Amino acid sequence: MKVLANDGISQTGVDNLKAAGFEVITDKIEQGELINYINENNIDVVLVRSATKVRKDIIDACPGIKIIGRGGVGMDNIDVEYARDKGIHVINTPAASSASVAELVFAHLFGGVRFLYDANRSMPLDGDTKFKDLKKNYAEGRELRGKTLGIIGFGRIGQEVAKIALGCGMNVIACDPLVDNATIKVEFFDGQFIEMEIFTRPLEEVLKQSDFISIHVPSQKNYVIGEKEIESMKDGAGIINVARGGLIDEVALIDALESNKLSFAALDTFENEPSPAIKVLKNDKLSLTPHIGAATKEAQDRIGTELAEQIKRILKAV
């Protein structure tokens, strides 16, 4: 059987599948060429990340597909229910990348409170001539310890973010209509751990009380954070979105940064991905990454292994 990993798969996953007798193809096929390629090459399994879309047109035109897999959590680029109605298995790896995404949140958060997003732009340009000026510009950093982190969406990733925050000495509050409470286990290198129970609160309360906001929800029809929500946040707060583009109204976000309502923001995902708005890219209060939340070697190894195990289990049962 043939597996097309169109957005790539770790070598661990490739080796796992090959050892089970699968042919693994990692060539990148353009979206418009997928139907022909899948049919001409008798592809049984299509694996994607966020770049490739598997919609009704592909599902209808490629009756040989047995499994569609998403290397990651969200499956908004796949017509999941439609595929399942057609008898196709749809799989993903919801837990494999949680730790990597959570660590990226704190990469942005540490960088935000110490102006690293701007210092890394300015130092190569002016560090040799305006060193003292830059030092003065970045002199009013903040510590995370003792600050309140509000987490919007308290599923696997939100809870991983909470673990790191608690380890940093932060107060954690969260909102999620599907989660009433969660026990957060913070584990240490020597096997010791602490546990804390966190009860979720209304969104309005989280917005008003948080020094920083981190968003961890699936794609939505409407903005989660718009002008009204930003206005209710603390003056000087920071906000981070490494979840999905379109959760924050980027026009309202830029206005809030320029008016100093917000001190900084960080985006790993964008409304117009993969062509973010120029105003977003050029704003000097934004910390930016190109949708790399799950892009660690460890996460990709876990994703590849989990996909391979699910594929083997399903197709052995067919």
The active-site residue, picked from 70, 89, 216, 244, is 244
H-run or E-run covering 88:
none
The active-site residue, picked from 250, 291, 302, 306, is 291
Q: What is the 3-state secondary structure (H, E, C) of the chain?
A: CEEEECCCCCHHHHHHHHHCCCEEECCCCCHHHHHHHHHHCCCCEEEECCCCCECHHHHHHCCCCCEEEECCCCCCCECHHHHHHCCCEEEECCCCCHHHHHHHHHHHHHHHHCCHHHHHHHHHHHCCCCHHHHHHHCCCCCCCCCCEEEEECCCHHHHHHHHHHHHCCCEEEEECCCCCEEEEEEECCCCCEEEEEEECCCHHHHHHHCCEEEECCCCCCCCCECHHHHHHCCCCEEEEECCCCCCECHHHHHHHHHCCCEEEEEECCCCCCCCCCHHHHHCCCEEECCCCCCCCHHHHHHHHHHHHHHHHHHHHHC
The active-site residue, picked from 205, 273, 298, 309, is 273
Total number of residues shown for the chain: 318
Q: What is the pLDDT of residues 160-189, one digit of tens each?
A: 999 999 999 999 999 999 999 999 999 999
Average pLDDT, the chain: 96
Q: What is the mean pLDDT of residues 148-171?
A: 98
Judged by DSSP in three states, 142 sits in coil
Give yes or no: 216 in active site: no
Best CA proximity match to 207, nearest among 247, 171, 168, 175:
175
> What topology does CATH give the domain 2-94+297-317?
Rossmann fold (3.40.50)
Give yes or no: 40 in active site: no
- Assign domain 98-288 to a CATH class: alpha beta
Q: What is the pLDDT of residues 263-280, one digit of tens each?
A: 999 999 999 999 999 999
Q: Domain locations in the chain? A: 2-94+297-317, 98-288
Q: Matching CATH topology for 2-94+297-317 and 98-288?
A: yes
Q: Residue 72: its pLDDT value, please?
A: 87
What is the pTM assigned to this prediction?
0.90
Give yes or no: 89 in active site: no
Q: Residue 50: its pLDDT value, please?
A: 84
Q: What is the pLDDT of residues 61-100, one digit of tens each?
A: 999 999 999 998 889 899 999 999 999 999 999 889 999 9
Between the two ends of the chain, the Cα-to-Cα distance in Å is 12
